[in-house]
Amino acid sequence: MNEHSRFAVGIDVGTTTVRCVVGHIDESTGVPTVVGVGEAANSGMRKGVVSNLNGPARAIDDALGEAERMSGYEINEATISVNGAHIVSTKTDGMIAAGAVDHEISASDVSRVEEVATIGKIPANREVIDVIAHDYKLDGQDNVRDPIGMTGTRLEINAHVMSGLVPHMDNLRKTASMATVEARALVPAVVASARAVITETQLESGVAVVDMGGATTGVAVFEEGDLQYVGVVPMGGVNVTNDLAIGLKTDPEIAEQIKRKHGSAVARKERSGVSIDHDGTILTFNTEEIDEIIGARLEEIFEGVEQELKKAGRAGKLPSGIVLVGGAALMPGMKEFVRDALGLAAKLGKPSGFGGVAERAEQPDYSAAVGLMLQDSAQMIGNDQKSVRDSARGGAGKSRSLMTGISAVAKNVFNRFRS
């Protein structure tokens, strides 16, 4: 493939699986076309964080290798997911004196007030992933959505700051580097998933994306066009598998087959037996017992989700309900279970926002990888536009990446909804 072609890469580093999506960027439209996907089983992670560098490095390398062979690109940079209960969302605010009476608010002013919103409010052992501005106040005027270009002397911000523990963030970068890929940015998996699956209407009216992964369940709440809250429940599909293995007195490998082939999120009315062929031996299990075990764990997981929604102040108050993504969301009856558990409408999310025909990339378990690829594409396009603006100003522009401790995540992750 032409070495001058531009491509975006998203790598979702999950506890049990690594998924990679590569998109060729159309220079005229900016819309990426999926040209490569890759997937590999992962080990060496616990509850979303790295516990052994070698396992995830091998999985990243294997997934990248498959995506490289399919796309024809050699990959050395990507936007990568970060996960785990160490990811937290903190409400904060800040204020700066912007300038003289006739001062015009610039992007640099916005960067400064965002930085002030983190100073002394985020512990030193946490790395700021992103600052999500909910609104600004300019010389006492409330509810300013975008102050750039407006005239004012005093700029204030109300925001949420997403942050993660520095050791976990650094270890993720290290394991990616061992697979010869550098992290262009680290983005919470559930936030990346949301980029790929929610609509403008959902974004404005109020929606929660619930990313059901192997060992964690991410929760991201959106309303009035903004990300309002991010939380992580330290349980996922692996916990269901382990419960089945214990309850049915069988191996985890067999329990995983039972979950995938015969699992149901809602209790079946008719009792029956289901069979699993394991190395030539037919094993039979009762659906009533399977349903009871799965249901008990799902109740615990979604009690955790409910608690996260309560922290966000949106439990039972989201007009667009819940959008489910992730591999564990594919279990039959999951939408019905979530509707009953949370008292909200629920639907299965399907990734979009890209061109091409890529069957795997359209599945809910690829939502995070697709969203990361879309974010990677937006980041590169945004950098190009900024370079042009800076050149026109004689290089006077100030990059937000200069903000101490803040990862290079494109601000306004969801501007594709407003274009």
Contact 95, 78 (CB under 8 A): no
Q: What is the mean pLDDT of residues 396-415?
A: 37
Whether 270 and 410 share a structural domain: no
Mark whether 187 and 146 lie in a shared domain: no
pTM of the model as a whole: 0.88
| pLDDT score at 381 | 78
Residues β-bridged to residue 156: 95, 137
**pLDDT tens figures, 180-217:** 999 999 999 999 999 999 999 999 999 999 999 999 99
Residue 264 has pLDDT above 50, yes or no: yes
DSSP conformation class of 85: T
**275 SS3 class:** strand
Task: Report pLDDT for 407.
Answer: 37
Tell me, what CATH number does 152's domain have? Answer: 3.30.1490.110
Do the domain assignments include residue 203?
A: no
Domain end marker among 311, 328, 348 = 348
Is 28 found in the same domain as 129? no
Statement: residue 391 has pLDDT above 60: no
Question: pLDDT grade, residue 107 (50/70/90)?
Answer: very high
290 is in which domain, residue-wise?
A: 231-348
pLDDT for 357 = 66
Longest dimension (CA), the chain: 82
Q: How many helices (H) and strands (E) does the chain have?
A: 10, 18
For residue 273, pLDDT over 80 is answered with yes
DSSP 270: S
Instruction: Using the 3D structure, point to which of 348, 365, 392 is the last residue of a domain.
Output: 348
Is the pLDDT at 390 greater than 60? The verdict is no
In a domain, 325, yes or no: yes
**Residue 383 and residue 409 in one domain:** yes
Distance CA 250, CA 392 (A): 67
Q: What is the pLDDT of residues 344-373, one digit of tens each?
A: 999 999 998 898 767 889 999 999 999 999
> CB under 8 Å to 330, separation ≥6 — which residues?
348, 363, 364, 365
- Under DSSP, is residue 382 helix (H, G, I), strand (E, B) or coil? helix
**Domain assignment present for 209:** no
Residue reference for tokens 């950098």: 383
- How many domains does the chain fold into? 3
Q: Is residue 216 part of a domain?
A: no
Banded model confidence at residue 400, pLDDT cuts 50, 70, 90: very low
Instruction: Give the residue from 123, 148, 165 where a domain finishes.
Output: 165
For residues 267-296, give the mean pLDDT.
91
Q: CA 231 to CA 368: how far, in whole Å?
A: 15
- pLDDT (mean) for 147-160: 94
Decide if 208 is inside a domain. Answer: no
**Does residue 389 lie in a domain region?**
yes
**% of the chain beyond a pLDDT of 70:** 89
For the beta carbon of residue 62, count every other beta carbon within 10 angstroms.
18
107 and 23 part of one domain: no
Same domain, 186 and 148: no
Mean pLDDT on 124-147: 92
3-class SS string, 188-219: EHHHHHHHHHCCHHHHHHCEEEEEECCCCEEE
Q: Are 148 and 105 in contact (CB under 8 A)?
A: yes
Report the distance separating Cα 196 and Cα 158, nearest Å.
Answer: 26
Ramachandran angles phi, psi of 157, nearest 5°: -135, 140
Q: Average pLDDT of 138-145?
A: 92
**326 and 411 part of one domain:** no
Average pLDDT in the chain: 89
